[in-house]
Amino acid sequence: MMLLAAKAPITFWLSPAGNDHRGSVNLKFRQSFLFVIPSSKLSFSSLAYAPALETKSYMDVELDSSRKIVEFCEVGDLKNAMELLCSSQNSNFDLGAYCSILQLCAERKSIRDGRRVRSIIESSGVMIDGILGVKLVFMYVKCGDLKEGRMVFDKLSESKIFLWNLMISEYSGSGNYGESINLFKQMLELGIKPNSYTFSSILKCFAAVARVEEGRQVHGLICKLGFNSYNTVVNSLISFYFVGRKVRCAQKLFDELTDRDVISWNSMISGYVKNGLDDRGIEIFIKMLVFGVDIDLATMVNVFVACANIGTLLLGKVLHSYSIKAATLDREVRFNNTLLDMYSKCGDLNSAIRVFERMDEKTVVSWTSMITGYVREGLSDGAIKLFDEMKSRGVVPDVYAVTSILNACAINGNLKSGKIVHDYIRENNLETNSFVSNALTDMYAKCGSMKDAHDVFSHMKKKDVISWNTMIGGYTKNSLPNEALTLFAEMQRESKPDGTTVACILPACASLAALDKGREIHGYALRNGYSEDKYVTNAVVDMYVKCGLLVLARSLFDMIPNKDLVSWTVMIAGYGMHGYGSEAINTFNQMRMTGIEPDEVSFISILYACSHSGLLDEGWKIFNIMKKECQIEPNLEHYACMVDLLARTGNLVKAHKFIKAMPIKPDATIWGALLCGCRIHHDVKLAEKVAERIFELEPENTGYYVLLANIYAEAEKWEEVQKLRKKIGQRGLKKNPGCSWIEIKGKINIFVAGDCSKPQAKKIELLLKRLRSKMKEEGYSPKTAYALLNADEREKEVALCGHSEKLAMAFGMLNLPPGKTIRVTKNLRVCGDCHEMAKFMSKSASREIILRDSSRFHHFKDGSCSCRGYW
């Protein structure tokens, strides 16, 4: 006795008598037993014991062992079958034994045993072909090794239709539809006749890769070969046509099918539901009941999905009780998952919770559906709690659960929870999934942390269009339009922007008043067929409104065939911004006449429009409509509009009273609106009172200190101005620097107050000086109060000349062709002196100037401004 190999598992030869027969190989092979003992079990005692094993002649062993292996396999005892196969090595086990054991390996998905069986067969010299080939391929594909299975399949001298079908369905199951189709074509070329199994598998493949035309040809072949009366084949055809959106073809096949089974009915319901025709799906279901067809799990799952899509809670409830009475489906986890999802989508979270709590078995899908239900109801905290509970119960979150909870954190702005989820994602390597990393980016963006968002985004190996859109939209919504535009330019080099990209980037153009860029993107949307998308059209109108092209915006708005609430709101807000209050009201009334009722946002737009046009009575009327006709409780923003309206129109005392009578606690914005009014109507006393309240509420907001300082300056109370300046300095507050910009030939030129470093600075200075002296000649005097410096008039005048909006306007005069409208945007409110100068410029140079400040638009033409003082 001796060891032949030292590697695990150790194989050694043992002669029946314990003698070494190595001298005669053939003899030894026939008369020996092959032992395969794992090295860990190899010990002196087992070696010592081995020679004492009972021995028989090889013929007896072979018959006995084959029969015994089959018997072991029949009772499912793979362990003993394997032990016997391995321990009694001989070349002549019968095929039945090999087949049985390969079959069992396949059922148990034990590729290790399967491979061992294969090596034993091969070392015994038996050819792998015929039935053995079939079994071996079957074993490999069932154990998940499609590649090895294919290699064996390719070597077989001839293959029965069964194996072709097996390979086709396995490739299809692993998502490799192309290879399934290749095999199908190959078998047709070889003259192998497909059967009903082939057709039902292959139709799914043609549907999955949307090769509808080829699928139709297969339909032709089915008819030619006479398989068009097989219900399995027709059922597959029905599904195929539904996937290809050929609803009528599917219905026709169903109508002509005499031998309908439950799957035929279910296919019809599911097909209609997947084509968005939920009503038709439910109709089929009702017919099914009328015909007395027994429903099953798939029926109810489809029907609940239809109810969820329609949002018909009542029908959902009826069907819930029906299905419990008709069958015992409510123990099925899939049934309950769909059911609770239906309840939550129909807005009945409590019923969903009841279903959830009664479930014996809860899978990650059940938990995810509940989490999504909570998110849907805006209960993000509850969603986060559920997620933690799920984890503590040992349910492992998958990609869906993680994206759903990230969505909850995003909606809630809960950065802390979001970061904990991110840690979990990192630990479990889920970041490689693009859904997860897109959801992570979105969560960070919605929580306002664009740095973290960019971190996730930049580490993504594969960025899809959603990744780009999320990031660009994130920058836009976080008021970082320049970053959005830079990323958009980068995206154009690496990926193709879609309609969503356009809808995400246009607000950035709007906020920068980057008209040329906006036009370019609008053109891109038109060329690529995105201009039908309602998000795009609304964003286009909004962009033109905010870039000052109100007339164009209106004509594009008129061309929108199905205006939704957002379209109307954009237009109303547009009129408001440009000071066309009565047009805003007309549009508002038109909207209501078409049956669209305003929401909170559109009320803000219309109230804002009234206040910027001084329409006091109309504003009040709308404020009352909001409460009485639309049952919308006004929020802080609505109150702020009303205070603004009262204060602007000079009703300062009324405004003050209105604030005191508010049912909700006023914030700094409300008092700020009153403070603005105090400035317009020069009420220093009230201003001081109001400012005191504001400084308590928002001590860090520099804007209000500046506003009060302006009020003092206009009243020439220089001491007070000085005090306030000191206060600002002590608190370490810095005045937000005024900055204006103008786009020329697509390039945005930014000017900061007093900035002399710009190109053409000398020319600009000269132009402004000339204009100033001309203004003086015609009787204008500079509004030096706006200079806010306790200096002499001459110095103030110099300071005024450095205002950013003047620099930008002058730059426009110098660089735009004569007659072309000058469009300037400013980050703060326009200064009174600049406002005067713009009026003058528009007249003396006969040029329209459109100035957008942080509050509204000013159209200057022939020496007057559209704001008529309301700003």
Residue 142 or 806 having the CB closest to DNA: 142
| Tokens representing residue 446 in the block | 């919605």
Minimum distance, C-beta of residue 149 to DNA, in the bound complex (Å): 12
Residue showing tokens 């890769």: 209
The site string for DNA over 317-336 (x = CB under 7 A, - otherwise) reads ----------------xx--
Do 48 and 40 touch, CB atoms closer than 8 A?
no
- Between CA 141 and CA 355 the distance in angstroms is 39
* Of 54 and 361, CB closest to DNA: 361
Number of residues that bind DNA (CB under 7 A): 62
Task: Report how far Cα 125 is from the mean position of its chain's Cα atoms.
Answer: 58
Report whether 377 contacts 343 (CB < 8 A). no
Calpha distance 466→755 (Å, rounded): 41
Specify the residue, 88 or 201, whose C-beta has the smaller distance to DNA.
201
32 is a site residue for DNA (CB under 7 A): no
Backbone angles phi, psi at 14, to 5 degrees: -135, 120
Hey, how many other C-beta atoms are within 10 angstroms of the C-beta on 533? 17
103 belongs to the binding site for DNA (CB under 7 A): yes
How many residues does this entry show for the chain? Answer: 871
Stretch that binds DNA, among 157-165, 461-469, 499-507, 681-689 (CB under 7 A): 157-165
Q: Is 302 in the site for DNA (CB under 7 A)?
A: yes
Q: What is the CA radius of gyration of the chain?
A: 39
| Among 88, 239, 417, 467, contact with DNA (rule: CB under 7 A) | 239
Only one of the segments 393-401, 478-486, 612-620, 681-689 lies at the binding site for DNA (rule: CB under 7 A); that segment is 393-401
- Whether residue 540 contacts residue 556, with contact meaning beta carbons closer than 8 Å, is answered with yes
Can residue 293 be called a binding residue for DNA (CB under 7 A)? no
Three-state DSSP at 788 gives coil
Task: Give CA angle at 624 (620, 629), nearest 5°.
Answer: 145
Amino acid at 431: E
Provide the Cα torsion 683, 684, 688, 689; round to 10°: -30
Nearer of residues 356 and 639 to DNA, judged by Cβ? 356
Kindly tell me which of 237 and 591 has the beta carbon lying closer to DNA. Answer: 237
Instruction: Tell me: does residue 301 bind DNA (CB under 7 A).
Output: yes
Q: Least distance from C-beta 103 to DNA, angstroms?
A: 5
Contact between 364 and DNA by CB under 7 A: the answer reads: yes
Site string for DNA, 111-150 (x = CB under 7 A): --------------------x--xx--x------------
The residue among 369 and 842 lying less far from DNA, judged by its C-beta, is 369
Residue 398 CB burial class (10 angstroms; 0-12, 13-18, ≥19): middle
Question: Whole-angstrom Cα distance, residue 823 to residue 843?
Answer: 16
Cβ atoms of 834 and 801 within 8 Å: the answer is: no
Q: How far is the CB of 452 from DNA (least distance, A)?
A: 20
Residue whose C-alpha is closest to residue 82's, from 119, 134, 45, 27: 119
**What beta strand segments (E) does 778-847 contain?**
822-826
Question: Which C-beta is closer to DNA: that of 436 or that of 450?
Answer: 436
- Structure tokens given for 308: 């969820």
CA 567 to chain centroid, in Å, comes to 23
In the list 196, 486, 760, 821, the residue contacting DNA (rule: CB under 7 A) is 196
109 touches 145 (CB < 8 A): no
CA gap 764, 742 in Å, rounded: 14
Rank residues 89 and 266 by Cβ distance to DNA and give the closer one. Answer: 266
Q: CA-CA distance, 520 to 610, in Å (whole number)?
A: 33
- 126 or 298: whose CB is closer to DNA? 298
CB nearer to DNA: pick between 186 and 736: 186
Looking at 341, 583, 743, 833, which residue binds DNA (CB under 7 A)? Answer: 341
Residue 27: count of CB within 10 angstroms of its CB: 11
Rounded to a whole number of angstroms, the minimum distance from the CB of residue 387 to DNA is 13
Read off the amino acid at residue 9.
Answer: P
Closer to DNA at the Cβ: 339 or 768? 339
Which amino acid is residue 572, in one-letter code? I
For residue 201, state whether it binds DNA (rule: CB under 7 A). Answer: yes
Residue 457: other Cβ atoms inside 10 A: 22
Residue 825: CB minimum distance to DNA, A: 37
- How far apart, in whole angstroms, are the C-alpha atoms of residue 492 and residue 497? 7
For residue 236, state whether it binds DNA (rule: CB under 7 A): yes
Q: Binding to DNA by residue 351, rule CB under 7 A?
A: no
Min dist CB 306 to DNA, Å, is 11
Q: Are 790 and 722 in contact (CB under 8 A)?
A: yes
Q: Please give the Cα distance from 653 to 638 (Å, whole number).
A: 19
Binding status of residue 197 toward DNA by CB under 7 A: yes
Least separation in angstroms between residue 410's CB and DNA is: 10
End-to-end CA distance of the chain: 106
Does residue 400 interact with DNA by CB under 7 A?
yes
Least spacing, CB of residue 268 vs DNA, in Å: 9
Task: Tell me how far, at minimum, the Cβ of 339 lies from DNA, in Å.
Answer: 9
Q: Show the binding pattern over residues 622-651: x = contacts DNA (CB under 7 A), - = does not.
A: ------------------------------
Among 435, 524, 535, 620, binds DNA (CB under 7 A): 435
Out of 71, 94, 129, 398, name the contact with DNA by CB under 7 A. 398
- Comparing CB distances to DNA, the nearer of 208 and 596 is 208
Question: Does position 99 bind DNA by CB under 7 A?
Answer: yes
Of the two residues 335 and 860, which places its CB atom closer to DNA in the complex? Answer: 335
Going residue by residue from 262 to 291, which x/- string records binding to DNA, judged by CB under 7 A? Answer: xxx-xx--x---x-----------------
Is 428 a binding residue for DNA by CB under 7 A? The answer is no
Determine the Cα–Cα distance for residues 473 and 430; give it in Å rounded to an integer: 24
Between CA 153 and CA 159 the distance in angstroms is 8
Residue ranges binding DNA (CB under 7 A): 99, 103, 131, 134-135, 138, 161-162, 165-166, 169, 173, 195-197, 200-201, 204, 230-233, 235-236, 239, 261-264, 266-267, 270, 274, 296-299, 301-302, 305, 308, 333-334, 337-338, 341, 363-365, 368-369, 372, 398-401, 403-404, 407, 433, 435-436
